[in-house]
Amino acid sequence: MASFSGKVALVTGGTQGMGLVSAVALAKAGATVVIAGRDVEKGKAAAAQASAEVGRPVHYLSVNTADPASVEQMIAQLLQNHGCLDLAFNNAGVTSPTAPMAEVSITDWQRVIDINVNGTFYSMKYEIAAMLKSGGGAIVNNSSVAGLVAVPNQASYVASKAAVIGLTRSAAIEYADSGDGSRPVIRVNAIAPGPILGGMNSPENLAKNPERTARKKAFAAMNRFGTPEEVAAAVVWLLSDASSYLTGTVIPIDGGALAGRRL
Ligand SMILES: NC(=O)c1ccc[n+]([C@@H]2O[C@H](COP(=O)([O-])OP(=O)(O)OC[C@H]3O[C@@H](n4cnc5c(N)ncnc54)[C@H](OP(=O)(O)O)[C@@H]3O)[C@@H](O)[C@H]2O)c1
């Protein structure tokens, strides 16, 4: 089992869904964990719930990752509270309303790009600066299978999640090796989940559209949704030294969805 004793970890979008489950897993493996999100009441409640589950404090900081000043301020606060940053899971993200491209509103397009692309960039920019001061670190970005293959009527989401993979690869090669060992190494990888229970796949959302729910389930060769715990296990592994020779990779967690198609 991974041991993150003495490490400080940040999970953006850590106040619910797979972010919260991953935060709890990191804390159970010994990390001091900070979860961050916009909704302060939800964030405080999530931190209290996680603290009770772990048996020691899990911390909350407010952030809007689409606002660079907010991200800079949140990281500064984290450093003031905890002294360093070693690990980050950039999970904050939103889906787009379902519509063919010609009908996508400019407002919706910009909202998805602002949060999923710009938010991931702002987060990495300030996290990397902090990690360089702490002697290195590891980052996992949450993309999606929709960042690897297009799904219809989700252009902004598909484009945003492909961009997350581009950002991951760029940072990975920039911070893998300074050539002369003078700069700490930061490993940067992405996960590409398929349909995962919770969050955008909450029981209420799934019940609203049974046909779409059945299609999503059948998308995975395993013919089921994944669980947030199955995502968290990959996040813990990618942030741990057990994956020390991996950087710039994208790991689908998709029940075989991208492996092929049934005839
Ligand atoms: N669920 C799936 O099937 C699936 C599949 C592939 C990829 N993903 C990706 O996995 C990630 C999490 O998905 P989920 O289903 O667990 O989502 P979710 O339950 O909707 O949770 C999203 C989290 O992100 C936070 N967030 C959203 N916008 C933010 C912003 N601008 N600044 C800071 N925090 C923000 C939310 O908190 P606040 O609202 O309080 O800010 C919340 O904590 C997303 O990036 C999503 O694209 C999900």
The 10s digit of each residue's pLDDT in 59-86 is 999 999 999 999 999 999 999 999 999 9
In the reported structure, the alpha carbon of residue 132 is separated from the centroid of ligand 1 by a whole-number distance in angstroms of 27
In this predicted structure, what is the pLDDT of residue 261?
A: 80
Which segments of the chain have a pLDDT < 50? none
- Domain assignment present for residue 261? The answer is no
Q: How far apart are CA 143 and CA 9, in angstroms?
A: 19
The domain total for the chain is: 1
- Per-residue pLDDT reduced to its tens digit, 244-263: 999 999 999 999 999 998 77
- Domain assignment present for residue 245? The answer is yes
In this predicted structure, what is the pLDDT of residue 102?
A: 98
Within 6 A (CB) of ligand 1 lie 12-13, 15-19, 37-39, 42, 63-66, 91-94, 115, 119, 142, 144, 193, 195-196, 198-201
In this predicted structure, what is the pLDDT of residue 2?
A: 83
- Domain assignment present for residue 262? The answer is no
- Paired with 33 in beta bridges are 9
| Amino acid at the residue 99 | A
Provide the residue range defining the domain that includes 88.
Answer: 8-252
- Domain assignment present for residue 36? The answer is yes
- Domain assignment present for residue 51? The answer is yes
- Domain assignment present for residue 2? The answer is no
In this predicted structure, what is the pLDDT of residue 147?
A: 98
CATH for 66: 3.40.50.720
Residues serving a catalytic function are 157
- Domain assignment present for residue 246? The answer is yes
Which of these, 160, 120, 115, lies nearest to 141 by C-alpha position?
A: 120
Query: Do you know the residue count of the chain?
Result: 263
In this predicted structure, what is the pLDDT of residue 223?
A: 95
- What atom of ligand 1 comes closest to residue 15's alpha carbon? 43
Q: How far apart are CA 137 and CA 186, in angstroms?
A: 5
In the reported structure, the alpha carbon of residue 180 is separated from the centroid of ligand 1 by a whole-number distance in angstroms of 38
Q: Where are the beta strands (DSSP E) in the chain?
A: 8-12, 32-37, 59-62, 87-90, 137-142, 186-193, 250-253
Global pTM reads 0.98
- Domain assignment present for residue 1? The answer is no
| Amino acid at the residue 140 | V
